[in-house]
A and B are shown apart, each in its own frame.
Chain A
Amino acid sequence: MSRSTKGFVALATLVVAIAWLSPSPSVDIAAADANSVLKGPTIGPDVEAVEISLAFRPQPDAKRVGYFGFGESATEDMIAGWDIDVRPDGKGLPPGSGSVEDGEVIYEEQCAACHGFFGEGEGRWPKLAGGEGTLTEDRPEKTVGSYWPYASTLWDYVHRAMPFYEPQSLGDDEVYAVSAYVLYLNDIVADDFVLSHENLASIQMPNRDGFFVDPRPDVKNTACMQDCKDPASIKITWDSTELGVTPIDHFRAEDTEAAATAAQETDPNLGLTVYQQACSTCHKGGLAGAPVVGEAGAWSERLEQGMDVLVDHAINGYQGSAGYMPPKGGQIQLSNQEVRAAVDYMVKNSLEK
């Protein structure tokens, strides 16, 4: 920061300090009319000056390239290792290819647990396929096929962030193959298709023309002050308390255990719901030594201690020889009953299969 800028900040700060120290407008609440507007500090040139000085930002000046000279040059090698982004025109794609056929094998191994075997999505994990023609419907399904405008985004995202548990673990050809398979699940390519750096940019996604640049501000309200509408016309259309879907135990001291029991009694899916949002991350694939749902042996072994012990470990946490179970799977906001329901669900779906 230059000397003159420093001086400016100091001066501006002083001016504001003086402004704050000057006799403040009346804030005698008791004496004031309750409905009148109390005068307080208002924005003015002083605050403005501070803001300008704080938001110190010189205009770029071509003559000052390398002015500071900090850091080291990014070599081509360094850039190649990190520059992984791909654009719709194919810029950024590495050489390679993968077939729908190969993609199916990788997909079922790496992706299906969350996204479903047909891209239908398990629980609240993203649905990848289907949904064509639903964007104007009451419950639109935004999938790769129905919504994504460019195939490059699919390749880029799988490559940078998937599989969820092990991002950037797939080779380039594997990413081509999985991308080809997801396109196939969406009926965008045929079952003998081979996706490559040469043909990816030419794939026409169904919703490629479905986007337009933000036109906001798009609504115009007015600051009407008096008789803005007919009081008799006001009706309450929604009341959040009628739903009862929000965690509110921390401020409305309800009998949480009773409520959870009641919820389980009236909601046979409670166990599944809790499992999907709190347990499946580990218990679906066996992360951290977690017994996998569906593997009867892993569960019957543990059940020998009794269901209550199992539930107790799920609620309070447990360090076993196979791995660590965090209390309530790390989601301490769950009630004990909700955890019990999830354990019930997992045991039932493991032993009965």
Chain B
Amino acid sequence: MWIGFLLERALSLPRSEESDMSKLRRSGAAGLLDMVADKASQLPQPERRDFLKRGLALAGTAAAGPAIAAGESGAEYLPPNVPPWTRSLGRGVVTRPYGSPSDFEANVIRRTVPWLTASNISSISFTPLPELKGIITPNGLVFERYHAGVPEISPDQHRLMIHGLVERPIVLTMDDLMRFPSASVIRFIECPANGGMEWRGAQMEALQFTHGMLSCCEWTGVPLSVLLEEVGLKKGAAWVLAEGADGAAMTRSIPLEKALDDTLVVYAQNGEMLRPEQGYPLRLLNPGWEGNTSVKWLRRLEVGDEPWYQREETSKYTDLMEDGRARKFTFVQETNSVITFPCPEKPLVAKGRYEVEGLAWSGRGRIRRVDVSFDGGVNWQQARLKGLVLPKALTRFSFMWDWDGGPVLLQSRAVDETGYVQPTLTQLRDQRGVESIYHKNAIHTWRVAESGEVTNVQID
């Protein structure tokens, strides 16, 4: 498949003699600014602006030593001088009626790896995990996955039909739905293919791409149990088919047990209505389960006595084992974790004290604890859980660390409240082989070089 193709293609690429990163390390931040300015001058106008922005963002985060402000004129803005923004007026209210991030954060965006899919209409983008704080993913940064592009649906024209083995088949408008009692929960959504490019070996060079099919939001909507109670379940009801209104009319069969437990019919995300790419105006949320089951642009729920064996639960989202047989209905996203600082995008800049941070999550409940290792898993130390520790939600951990400048193999290992311990990649491969694509929740390894550069590696 593509992995092999890419390996062949990639192995023929030459490596540059000296990276700009190492040039930068020799010359410091001033060198980087010169380099950015120099490179920008060779670009056409629109690209130049973007390049400068990105280059300056890099100077702001990566540069050590004597600080230089990210502005055209450098040190004249720094103390004891008073910068111009202190001596002038800024924008007035509602200049930007719907606020957007600072222009200096232009680097914090979703990205894709184009060769993963045949077309960007049916593709995936990744959340910039290195840049996120806390446990909530801002709406504009939630990873995207769809199979037929983002439909533009007017809420007035949208309906949810509930039928099948029910007493009262109904059609609900968005207004109807919002009259039902609502619930708000903070839960992660993770594509089960997150990390799936690395079953055979490490090939993603950035945290955004190794783990970025992952987001965590506060979701608001109607518990599906409330809606099923409203329509009344008939004898024999055992499964619910959820279907989207987009051009893929995406479908998944959900066991009734889950539907009556914590499935939510969601219309809002982090306090505002869903974003179009997250299913506006209505989506399903199956907390802790593979993201694909949380069907977006939800238009129909059918209750039945058997699963439907749709394309997304046979051809896709089944896990092929070494013996040629495949697992079906692999719903739960098992306990996982990754260190988000340092990471390839956020290297270390000098010896000294650092707060190592990361994210842990489990589709079965709360994270009970996270351990970190600096020697490739020989010895482990317990990290601190920060902020809210919620079931089926991202949980942030941290560990204060003195880096002595030596090479390090950095790992994290999460344990959830069921006692499940995040496995090693070797354990997963021994059990499942390397062709299952989905559900790779292995302990991840970052190699920290003496230069402070961080790379994605796999170890035995």
Contact = CB atoms under 8 A, between A and B. Distances in A.
Contacts of A147: 314-315, 326
A52 to B, nearest CB: 10
B390 A252 contact: no
B439 to A, nearest CB: 8
B120 A37 contact: no
Contact of A236 (B24, B112, B400, B459): B459
Given A219-B431, A221-B423, A229-B377, A34 B241 contact: no
A168 interface: yes
A59 B176 CA distance: 21
Interface stretch (A95-103, A179-187, A260-268): A260-268
Contacts of A216: 327, 330, 332, 334, 439
Interface in A16-37: 29, 32, 34-37
Interface of A: 1, 29, 32, 34-43, 47, 51, 54-62, 64-68, 70-74, 78-79, 82-89, 114, 123-125, 135-136, 139-140, 142, 144, 147-150, 152-153, 156-157, 160-161, 164, 167-168, 210-231, 233-248, 250-255, 258-259, 262-263, 266-267, 269, 273-274, 276-278, 280-281, 316, 330-331, 333-334
Nearest to B44: A316
Contacts of A43: 366, 385, 389
Given A34-B401, A83-B163, A221-B424, 4 more contacts: A85-B241, A211-B328, A236-B459, A247-B114
B28 to A, nearest CB: 14
What DSSP secondary structure best describes chain B's contact surface? Answer: mixed
A57 B264 CA distance: 10
B326 A211 contact: yes
Contacts of A164: 119, 121-122, 148
17 contacts: A58-B225, A59-B225, A70-B180, A140-B320, A140-B324, A153-B315, A164-B148, A213-B329, A216-B332, A216-B334, A234-B376, A240-B457, A245-B205, A248-B206, A251-B206, A253-B20, A253-B21
Contacts of B173: 71
A263 B308 contact: no
A255 B21 CA distance: 11
Given A161-B247, A212-B327, A234 B311 contact: no
A35 B171 contact: no
B232 A66 contact: yes
B233 A60 contact: yes
Contacts of B181: 1, 56
B141 interface: no
Contacts of B161: 74, 78-79, 82
Given A34-B402, A277-B118, A135 B320 contact: yes
Nearest to A276: B118
B381 A35 contact: yes
Given A160-B251, A240-B455, A267-B9, A114 B114 contact: no
Nearest to A65: B232
A57 B262 contact: yes
B230 A210 contact: no
A67 B232 CA distance: 10
A123 B115 CA distance: 10
Max chain A Cβ within 10 angstroms of own Cβ: one of B180, B344, B398:
B344
Contacts of A40: 384-386
A74 B302 CA distance: 12
B217 to A, nearest CB: 14
Nearest to A327: B46
B296 to A, nearest CB: 14
B226 A58 contact: yes
Contact of A210 (B4, B54, B177, B325): B325
Contacts of B422: 221
A160 to B, nearest CB: 4
